[in-house]
Structure 1
Amino acid sequence: MTIAHQPLFKLCYDEPYLQGTLIERNNRFLCHVLLDGSPVSCHVPNTSRLTELLVPGAPVGILKASNPNRKTAYDLVTVEYKGTTVNLDSNLPNRFTQLLIEHNYFPEFRELKLLKPESTYLDSRFDFYWERESFLAKKDPASEPVNGNSCLYQADTLTENKFAGYIEVKGVNYVENGIAQFPGAPTIRGVKHLHTLMDAYDQGFDAAVIFIIQRSDAHIFRPHETMDPLFAATLRQAAAHGIKLLTASMVVQGKCVTPTLEGPTIDLNPV
């Protein structure tokens, strides 16, 4: 007997969700969708190429924008591909990750006393900074904040158990034959983030990259060697350096997403 999996949480958009048909993607940020027999302009909140997903005639889901003064009245957020609904919103993975951490999905980030979005280390802005109570107790009240951020303290207050760290989140849309791959376009910024995470690790901080697969049909994750060989090589270097690599997937049901029971297995072997 199969026991149904009760999801940890459900994350839904507040805006009205409508279904249409993709006419074309005009450029990186704009597409046209046939909605109730009429074409409408939609913002594409994703800079990846998405060439295999955004093809004319594809069933898509759009949100009605709450700001009436926008140039585009809608946001493109989902597309149907080979029987799977894919979320395309590059803003969603951070919200999804925060809920995963708050619901203890990752053993690595349980019992946190601080989870701060968008924190800076050196010249990179990471998606999250976290601390555990053991670290809070070790802070020197007279120590100076790092980079002007009051929650970031010099790493010499850390212990080898790493009671504070940084998390970078990457949204993944591309899956083929059950294999999710990132990035969807060459990313100099992504390579820079990996190098900065390695520097933070050397200074005593924990460091992790979480790949959020915005669909439910992947069982393996790999770096996209063909799309960006430099990122793939740097990701392997980061993993060997001690940077944690984690994954999670979502089930997309219209305007709502829920986490799958487990994320895809990570395979860093060169293809």
Structure 2
Amino acid sequence: MRFEKPLVEGVLLRRYQRFLADVRLNDGQEVVVHVPNSGRLTGVFHPGRRCWLLPTVSGKLRFRLEIVEVGSTLVGVNTLRAMRLAEEALTSNLLLLPGLNRPFSVRREVVPAPGSRLDLQLVDRRGVFWVEVKNITMVEGGEALFPDAVTARGAKHLRLLAELAAGGERTAVVYVVQRTDSLRVRAAAEVDPHYARAAWEAAQAGVVFAAVEVAASLEELRPARPLPVVLQPAG
């Protein structure tokens, strides 16, 4: 996935109201930018770090935050890109879901039941395979962790997938890790024990858990390799 325009370099100053941040551009100008990520960006957003912005053509803000430099690693922070990255990994055969046959078609943002929505509906010769996509930016000790903040919505998605799986449907969670310095993905019980418990219960109900690492550069975001997912029973 290539960026639509050349990115603009800056330095993070502060974040506020969750979706806004102040950034100093290389020419000294300070701008307010859109932060397309509802999480805490734990370990990623720190004042003084280099970042790169995408110029926007609509809305009130001129820029959107896309990449933050963490040590020697470039981290993609735009959660809006996760669904397309997961789709790219699946359709390119980089990421394989057990039980999914090829060829398959893809629909985005589908409604499996009234009042609910999932990110992807894959359809092969056997029928429907429901997929929910989650973006990860937090890495500690070589583990990519989700979530980085309490997410009642995430737990709700897991319960829905578990219900569908219990009824004989094929379902999966795909984690998109937009950085290249982790060895595996883990549900972060220390951040949200309810989500971690729901993930374990969903896996026991037959929900597939998979993950893909994405390599970020200043030109593109590229699905690079699958990562193992570790789930643990709630303590």
- TM-score normalised to structure 2 length: 0.93
Count of residues in Structure 1 that have an aligned counterpart in Structure 2: 230
Specify whether residues 85 and 102 from structure 1 end up closer, same or farther in structure 2 by C-alpha distance, changes over 3 A only: same
Q: Which residue of structure 1 aligns with residue 124 of structure 2?
A: 132
Q: In 2, distance between residues paired with 1:107 and 1:56?
A: 38
Q: Which has the larger radius of gyration?
A: 1
Q: Would the aligned equivalents of 2:148 and 2:188 in 1 still touch at CA under 8 Å?
A: yes
Q: In 2, distance between residues paired with 1:92 and 1:165?
A: 21
SS at match of 2:8: strand
Tell me the amino acid that sits aligned with residue 17 of structure 1. L
Q: Would the aligned equivalents of 1:64 and 1:75 in 2 still touch at CA under 8 Å?
A: yes
SS at match of 1:195: helix
Tell me the amino acid that sits aligned with residue 31 of structure 2. V
Specify whether residues 51 and 204 from structure 1 end up closer, same or farther in structure 2 by C-alpha distance, changes over 3 A only: closer
Taking the TM superposition and a 5 Å limit, the aligned residue runs for 1:222-233 are 222-233=186-197
Q: Which residue of structure 2 aligns with residue 143 of structure 1?
A: none
Deviations 1:115-167 (A, max 9, x none): 1111111232001112112x3xxxxxxxxxxxxxxxxxxxxxxxxxxx32200
For the aligned residue pairs, the C-alpha RMSD in angstroms reads: 1.4
Q: Note the C-alpha offset of 1:225.
A: 1.0
| Runs of 4+ more than 4 Å apart | none
Q: Which residue of structure 1 aligns with residue 201 of structure 2?
A: 237
Taking the TM superposition and a 5 Å limit, the aligned residue runs for 1:85-104 are 85-104=74-93
Q: Would the aligned equivalents of 1:219 and 1:263 in 2 still touch at CA under 8 Å?
A: no
Q: Which residue of structure 2 aligns with residue 78 of structure 1?
A: 67
Asked if residue 113 in structure 1 is aligned to residue 104 in structure 2, the reply is: yes
Tell me the amino acid that sits aligned with residue 47 of structure 1. S
Tell me the amino acid that sits aligned with residue 226 of structure 2. G
Q: In 2, distance between residues paired with 1:129 and 1:266?
A: 21
Of 34, 38, 41, the match for 1:43: 34
Unmatched tracts of structure 1, length 5 or more: 1-10, 136-162
Q: Would the aligned equivalents of 1:112 and 1:130 in 2 still touch at CA under 8 Å?
A: no
Specify whether residues 125 and 112 from structure 1 end up closer, same or farther in structure 2 by C-alpha distance, changes over 3 A only: farther
Q: Would the aligned equivalents of 1:167 and 1:207 in 2 still touch at CA under 8 Å?
A: yes
Q: Which residue of structure 2 aligns with residue 5 of structure 1?
A: none
Q: Would the aligned equivalents of 2:23 and 2:32 in 1 still touch at CA under 8 Å?
A: yes
Q: In 1, distance between residues paired with 2:154 and 2:76?
A: 21
Q: Would the aligned equivalents of 1:214 and 1:252 in 2 still touch at CA under 8 Å?
A: yes
- TM-score normalised to structure 1 length: 0.81
Taking the TM superposition and a 5 Å limit, the aligned residue runs for 1:226-265 are 226-260=190-224, 262-265=225-228
Asked if residue 214 in structure 1 is aligned to residue 174 in structure 2, the reply is: no
Of 184, 193, 196, the match for 2:148: 184
